[in-house]
Amino acid sequence: MIEKMKEILGKVEADYADLRYETKQVARVTLSKKEVRNYGSTTGDGYVLRVLRRGGLATVCFTKPEQADQAVRRAVENADVLSAHQKEKKHIAPAEVVRATVKAPLLEDPRQISLQEKLALVKHYSDLLFAQPDIANVELYYNDVYRDKYFVNTEGSEINEELVTTKLVGAIISQVGELTQTARMAFGGSDGFQRVRNREEEALRQAKIASDLLKAEPVKAGAYNMVLNPDIAGVFTHEAFGHFSEADIIRDLPAMKEKMKLGTKLGTDILNITDNATMPGQLGYYKYDDEGVAVRKVKLMTAGVLTGRLHDRFTAAELGEPITGHAIAEDYRYPPIVRMGNIFIEPGSASLEELLSALGDGLYICDAMGGQTSGENFTFGASYGYVVKNGKLAGMIRDINIMGNLYHTLNSVKLVGSDFELSESGGCGKGQTNIRSCLGGPSVLFENLTVGGR
Amino acid sequence: MEKLLKLATQAADQAEIFYNEKTMDELAFSDGKLVNCDSSLSSGIALRVIKNGRMGLAHTCNLLDREDFLRQALLSAENGMEVDFTLPHTRDLPRLELYNPAVEDVSKESLIAAGNRIISYIRDRVDAQVNVSFGYSTGSVGILNSAGTDLHERGSGFFTQAMLVFPGTGSGLLTFKTGRCPLDLEDADLDELVELFRLSKIEIVPPTKRLPVIFAPLSLYALLSRFEAAWSPVNIHNGVSPLCGKLGERIVSEKISLTREPFDLELDSASAFDAEGTPTRRLTLIDKGVFSAFPTDLNYAAKLNLEPNGCAVRQSLEWLPTANAVNLVLDPGDVSLEDMVSGIKEGILAQFLMGAHSGNVLNGDYSVGVSTGFMIENGRITGRVKDCMLSGNVYETLSNVEAVENKALNLGIHKLPALLCKDVSVAGK
């Protein structure tokens, strides 16, 4: 494959060019109310060509090998259009030439397990959950995604890396009369099928939460002090801060770039934030990004001060900062953009009891249900929570969505827990989907976050 | 393709091939500077088979080995979903003019000139970050099946949009046009954007209380997505939808009428047939507040003992078709947006909401952040709202509709007017 790709790249007249080809196989088993909805595997493949000519960088994605000449012509034309009309030319930051073959580090390879066995496992969880009180429906989605990526560039890099992601996620729906409530479970990771086995205890815990939520009170709207558990603190870190450490977002928002200069104090002294996709076993693990750059650990915030940013080779050149290896594409249909790998707040020293005691009166919020960023504002939903009175858990609450503002919220972090967990579901939908975007962290005490409610 | 269908028909009880191809170009300016000029050439094939009452699917981008591709689909059918429907024999459909050759004549130089004009026009009036983007495409889809259906449609698309970014943020104001041939933004569209931008310089954190809220067309996704979950035939079949057994009942204000319009050519998904080859038809889902129909595909129409109504869509070729209502048109009312604003003593105009995908969607609950919205005081817009959330339940909020705007905005996917709803829970100060 590499030789074929070098042949295509050889036809490009440019200052720099790279070509990525990948195949993506997805094995999928989904069950809705005990009924099989999807069972099978699908395959797709395609190419992404990027050309840099006289400061113009253009991308052409194409599907068929016979489209290669057309793609080369179009990419060159597009790059020339950009070059002729761009006031600021694009430059590419220097990176090491890499020749490497990287196999996915798997304990139990999901590709070696039959679809029947996968179906049997999903049915097992479905039967288990349906047997629990108040459960009206269980939707389970199993998939394993195998991406076999080939990358070549005109500097001489030749890389073949495979990524295998295994996930079993579920929505557990409880019902009384017309009221339904949902709890979610998510097991998975980058190191194999064993991640989705033997998780019955956690599945049952979520079924109990779904049932308990039927009796929970909807949260009342207002501003609260609150402790977030590791899963939702991770979503906070991803939404409230992580996206603004992605250099392409900052590059495209000049007024924000001013506010987000490295060395700016944005958080409290106890706040340390890191992106580390090199940690083995976690969902976001990879070796080389989709520009062929080895990913590295980046300390994004140190004692509340901005100390690093996530980059591709073009944003690194533009901002004059080090490359980090964070150019990631969803798959063969997309050019890479800057993405988080595995972001978290570094743990502190407080136990959960100490966090709740320091909170006094407020909310204890647990498990994420998705989030979104828009400008300096962000929202995230929670699966469930508790009212806290005098440091003790009181009644359970539901329908929790939290909103905050980047510039204020990082300064409202008051105490950081000693616990540490990374999510097994992750995911991010910035333009493209990144199923391996990993997040997590410790439990964290915040002051004054806005909660929507009726 | 015909050879593949022949092979599949011999090996399975029923077979269907869905194929598509698309060429797309995008050009974008960020902060007044040209930054992107990219293209994509994509295509794919999905093979669906039904054997021994079970359904299977395979997908590929490059059909290299027909036998292997068919094997993959048959393997999928071994334990696939149990189904009891017959693929349709569809023919003699009306021919819709979905393709406009003017899209093929678009030159990048002309778009750059149009982009620069928009940027200059806005910057002559306000000092702001202006982003402009254009996209245009041509493509085709086709369906062949073992019942003899052989359908093919070719279409074109074009969009242009301008965004003014609030300083120091990533949110802002948007105006756009979408259709099947090149479209330009008019001065009146840009003047409106500039005027709102001037008003946005004052930032207001609203009080925490119940207030009237105008949901502008782009914010209505937060509400419509709750219906989408509720009228999904899967959730109705599974008995977990709040709309189960409610056909014929009033579920929202009588001011709300929502219709699927497959023949409105200005909308992106206009088509004479759906993703399974079933003929499409006009379908009123909510008629003056009454729940009157829900979208079905072949599979769930059979499971629910209904006629399929041509609402099957494919989110991608990797997935089996499912029923969903696209090309929705919400009937306009009789009040202009200006009159809605002038009638409010204290309230909010919500333009963009965030976090619409989280919360108890199936139940109809929403709790969303306002990323772009305006405070209305004594009948006029007094500033941009900050740090504010709106919450409620779609059935309750849309039972409290006081007015519907007198025109609908074409969003491409739907055409929607603004809605004024009273008594929405606002969380702010």
SS3 state of residue A221: coil
With a cut of 80, say whether residue B91 has pLDDT above it. Answer: yes
In terms of Cβ atoms closer than 10 Å to its own Cβ (0-12, 13-18, 19+), residue A129 is buried
Where b means 16+ CB within 10 Å and e means fewer, B13-28 reads ebbbbbbbbbbbbbbb
Quote the strand ranges of B258-364, DSSP E. 258-260, 283-287, 290-291, 312-313, 322-323, 328-330, 346-354
- Nearest-neighbour CA in chain B from A138: distance (Å): 10
Average pLDDT over residues A149-165: 98
Give B171-227 pLDDT, tens digit per residue: 899 999 999 999 999 999 999 999 999 999 999 999 999 999 999 999 999 999 999
A421, A231 Cβ separation under 8 angstroms: yes
With a cut of 90, say whether residue A397 has pLDDT above it. Answer: yes
pLDDT for position A1: 92
Residue pointed to by tokens 């440019």: A14
- Structure-token pair, residue A435: 């199923």
Kindly indicate the confidence band of residue A373, based on its pLDDT and cuts at 50, 70 and 90. Answer: confident
- Which residues in chain A touch residue B58, judged by CB atoms under 8 angstroms apart? 40-43
- CA–CA distance, B401 with B392 (Å, rounded to integer): 13
A 10 A CB-CB count for B313 gives 18
Give A34-75 pLDDT, tens digit per residue: 999 999 999 999 999 999 999 999 999 999 999 999 999 999
- CA–CA distance, B162 with B167 (Å, rounded to integer): 16
- Of A83-92, A209-218, A397-406, B339-348, minimum mean pLDDT range: A397-406
- Structure-token pair, residue B337: 């947006």
Q: Which residue has the higher pLDDT, A369 or B155?
A: B155
- CA–CA distance, A305 with A263 (Å, rounded to integer): 6
With a cut of 80, say whether residue A374 has pLDDT above it. Answer: no
Q: What share of chain A is helix, strand, coil (3-state, %, to 5)?
A: 25, 40, 30
pLDDT for position B410: 96
Q: What is the β-pairing status of strands A217-218 and A392-398? A: parallel
Could you tell me how far CA A354 lies from the centroid of its own chain? 30
Kindly indicate the confidence band of residue A441, based on its pLDDT and cuts at 50, 70 and 90. Answer: very high
Contacts of A3 (CB under 8 A, 6+ apart): none
pLDDT for position A452: 81
Give B314-336 pLDDT, tens digit per residue: 988 999 999 999 899 999 999 99
The shortest CB-CB distance from B62 to any of A64, A78, A136 is to A64
Average pLDDT over residues B135-149: 97
pLDDT for position B429: 78
pTM of the entire predicted model? 0.93
Predicted-assembly ipTM surpassing the 0.95 threshold: no
- CA–CA distance, A440 with B351 (Å, rounded to integer): 32
pLDDT for position B428: 85
pLDDT for position A403: 85
| Interface contacts A/B by beta carbons within 8 Å | 272
- Which residues in chain A touch residue B41, judged by CB atoms under 8 angstroms apart? 60-64, 67, 70-71
With a cut of 90, say whether residue A257 has pLDDT above it. Answer: no
A270, A346 Cβ separation under 8 angstroms: no
Phi and psi, residue B90, nearest 5°: -105, 130
Kindly indicate the confidence band of residue B360, based on its pLDDT and cuts at 50, 70 and 90. Answer: confident
Average pLDDT over residues B239-266: 95
Give A291-342 pLDDT, tens digit per residue: 999 999 999 999 999 999 999 999 999 999 999 999 999 999 999 999 999 9
Eight-state DSSP code of residue A66:
G
With a cut of 90, say whether residue B253 has pLDDT above it. Answer: yes
* Cα angle A280-A284-A288, degrees, rounded to a multiple of 5: 80
In terms of Cβ atoms closer than 10 Å to its own Cβ (0-12, 13-18, 19+), residue B78 is middle
- Between positions 176 and 195 of A, the ones with CB within 8 A of B are 178-182
A364, A397 Cβ separation under 8 angstroms: no
A413, A432 Cβ separation under 8 angstroms: no
- Structure-token pair, residue A369: 């249900």
pLDDT for position A433: 87
Kindly indicate the confidence band of residue A413, based on its pLDDT and cuts at 50, 70 and 90. Answer: very high
Among B31, B47, B197, B367, the strongest candidate for a mutation testing the A interface, having the largest count of A CBs within 10 A, is B367
Residue of chain A nearest B70, judged by CA positions: A42
Where b means 16+ CB within 10 Å and e means fewer, A82-113 reads bbebbeeebbbbebeebeeeeebebeeebeeb
With a cut of 80, say whether residue B238 has pLDDT above it. Answer: yes
pLDDT for position B404: 98
CA distances from B14 to A175, A191, B55 (A): 38, 39, 9
- Which residues in chain A touch residue B297, judged by CB atoms under 8 angstroms apart? none
pLDDT for position A299: 98
pLDDT for position A450: 87
Average pLDDT over residues B403-423: 97
The shortest CB-CB distance from A254 to any of B31, B80, B238 is to B31
pLDDT for position B367: 87
Average pLDDT over residues A201-227: 95
CA dihedral B229, B230, B232, B234 (to 10 degrees): 100
Beta bridge partners of B41: A62, B23
CB contact under 8 A, B61 and A452: no
pLDDT for position A207: 98
Beta bridge partners of A173: A137, A182
Give B71-88 pLDDT, tens digit per residue: 999 999 999 999 999 999
With a cut of 80, say whether residue A370 has pLDDT above it. Answer: no
- Between positions 388 and 427 of A, the ones with CB within 8 A of B are 398-401, 403-405
pLDDT for position B229: 94
With a cut of 80, say whether residue A113 has pLDDT above it. Answer: yes
Kindly indicate the confidence band of residue B129, based on its pLDDT and cuts at 50, 70 and 90. Answer: very high
- Which residues in chain A touch residue B168, judged by CB atoms under 8 angstroms apart? 255-256, 258-259, 376
* Cα angle B119-B122-B123, degrees, rounded to a multiple of 5: 80
pLDDT for position A128: 98
Longest Cα–Cα distance of chain A, Å, equals 71
- For chain A, give the number of residues: 454
The shortest CB-CB distance from B362 to any of A61, A180, A381 is to A180
Kindly indicate the confidence band of residue A349, based on its pLDDT and cuts at 50, 70 and 90. Answer: very high
With a cut of 90, say whether residue B169 has pLDDT above it. Answer: no
Q: What share of chain B is helix, strand, coil (3-state, %, to 5)?
A: 20, 40, 40
- Would you tell me the crossing angle of helices A115-130 and A200-213 to the nearest 10 degrees? 40
Residue B168: name the closest of A299, A405, A343 by CA: A405
Give B281-311 pLDDT, tens digit per residue: 999 999 999 999 999 999 999 999 999 999 9
B338: left (phi over 0), alpha (psi -120 to 50) or beta: alpha
Q: Does A3 touch chain B (CB under 8 A)?
A: no
